[in-house]
Structure 1
Amino acid sequence: MSLLLGNQGLGHAGRPSTSANVKLQPRLRAIRARVQQTGRRVEHRVVFAQAAHDTAVTQPSTSSAAKGLPKSSVWEIDFCSRPLLDERGKKVWELLICDPERNFEYSEYFPNSKINSAELKRTIERILAQAGAERPEKARFFRSQMQTIITKALTDCQIKAVPSRRCFTVMSWINERLESVYKQDPRFSDKAQSLFQLDLGPPEALPDALRGEQWAFVQLPLGTLLQMLKRVDDAEIFGSGFTLGTVGLADLPADILIPGVVVFSRRALPLAAWTNGLEIAAVKADVARSCLILETGVNQRWKYGSWRPNEDSIGEAEGWEIAKQGVKGVHFLAVQPDPDSEELNGLWLLQDCEPPTI
Structure 2
Amino acid sequence: MSSTLGAQRLVAPPAHARSSIQSPCTLLPHAPTRRGTQLRASAPQQRRIQRRGQVVVCSSDVAVQQASTSSTGKAVPKSTVWEIDFCSRPLLDERGKKVWELLICDPERKFEYSEYFPNSKINSAELKRAIERILAQAGAQRPEKARFFRSQMQTIITKALTDCQIKAVPSRRCFTVMSWINERLDSVYKTDPRYSDKAQSLFQLDLGPPEALPDALRGEQWAFVQLPLGTLLQMLRKVEEGEIFGGTFSLGTAGLQDLPMDILIPGVVVFSRRALPLAAWTNGLEIAAVKADVQRSCLILETGVNQRWKYGSWRPNEDSIGEAEGWEIAKEGVKGLHFLAVQPDPDSEELNGLWLLQDCEPPSI
TM-score, normalized by length of structure 1? 0.89
Q: Is the 8 A contact 1:282 1:350 kept in 2?
A: yes
After superposition, where does 1:249-328 map in structure 2 within 5 Å?
A: 249-328=256-335
Q: Distance in 1 between matches of 2:121 and 2:267?
A: 44
Residue 219 of structure 2 aligns to a residue whose secondary structure is coil
C-alpha change, 1:89 and 1:11, in structure 2 (3 Å) is: closer
The answer to whether residue 37 in structure 2 is matched with residue 37 in structure 1 is no
Deviation at 1:52, TM superposition (A): 0.9
1:4 Cα deviation from its structure 2 partner: 3.7
On the 8 A contact 1:76/1:139 being kept in 2, the answer is yes
Residues in 2 aligned to 1:281 and 1:14: alpha-carbon distance in whole angstroms:
29
Structure 1 counterpart of 2:338: 331
Match of 1:154 in 2: 161
Query: Which sits farther off after the overlay, 186-195 or 287-296?
Result: 186-195
Report the Cα offset of residue 142 of structure 1: 0.2
Number of the residue aligned with 1:49: 44
* Equivalent pair of 1:169/1:246 in contact (CA under 8 Å): yes
Q: Does 1:60 align with 2:67?
A: no
What is the Cα deviation at residue 282 of structure 1? 0.2
For residues 128-178 of structure 1, the C-alpha deviation after alignment (integer angstroms, 9 at most, x for no partner) is: 000000000000000000000000000000000000000000000000000
Residue 245 of structure 2: aligned partner = 238
Q: 1:8 to 1:275 in 2, by over 3 A?
A: closer
Task: Please tell me the residue identity of whatever aligns with 1:105.
Answer: E
Q: Look up the SS of the partner of 2:330 in the other structure.
A: helix
Alignment match, 1:19: none
1:207 deviates by 1.6
Amino acid of the structure 1 residue aligned with 2:171: S
Quickly say closer, same or farther: Cα 1:194–1:295, change in 2 above 3 A. Answer: same
The answer as to whether partners of 1:76 and 1:100 remain within 8 angstroms in 2 is yes
Relative to structure 1, the CA distance from residue 7 to residue 260 in structure 2 (aligned partners, 3 Å threshold; closer, same or farther) is closer
From 80, 84, 103, give the equivalent of 1:96.
103
Q: What SS is found at the alignment partner of 1:285?
A: strand
Match of 1:22 in 2: none
Give the alignment partner of residue 181 of structure 2, picking from 153, 174, 177.
174
Q: Is the 8 A contact 1:264 1:336 kept in 2?
A: yes
Which segment drifts farther, 51-60 or 319-328? Answer: 51-60
Distance 2:86 2:54 in 1: 17
**What secondary structure sits across from 1:71 in the alignment?**
coil
Q: How far 1:210 moved relative to its partner?
A: 4.1
Deviations, residues 87-124 of structure 1 (Å, cap 9, x unaligned): 10000000000000000000000001000000000010
Name structure 2 gaps, 5 residues minimum.
24-39, 58-65
Alpha-carbon separation, structure 2, partners of 1:241 and 1:267:
23
Mapped to 2, the partners of 1:135 and 1:271 lie a distance apart of 31
- Preserved CA contact (<8 Å) 1:13 1:314: no
Paired positions, count: 336
Structure 1 residue 59, shift from structure 2 partner? 3.5
Query: 2: distance between equivalents of 1:100 and 1:3?
Result: 29
Instruction: Please give the secondary structure, in 1, of the residue aligned with 2:137.
Output: coil
Structure 1 regions of 5+ residues with no counterpart?
16-31, 39-44
What amino acid does structure 1 have at the position aligned with 2:22? Q
Matching residue of 2:63: none
1:352 aligned to 2:337?
Answer: no
Q: What is the TM-score normalised by the length of structure 2? A: 0.88
Does the alignment pair 1:163 with 2:170? yes
Give, in angstroms, the shift of residue 194 of structure 1: 2.3
Output the CA distance in 2 between the equivalents of 1:59 and 1:81.
Answer: 22
Deviation of 1:244 after TM superposition, in Å, equals 0.2
Task: Return the structure number with greater relative CO, CA threshold 8 A, min gap 6.
Answer: 2
Say whether the 8 Å CA contact 2:149–2:305 is kept in structure 1. yes
Q: Is the 8 A contact 1:98 1:104 kept in 2?
A: yes
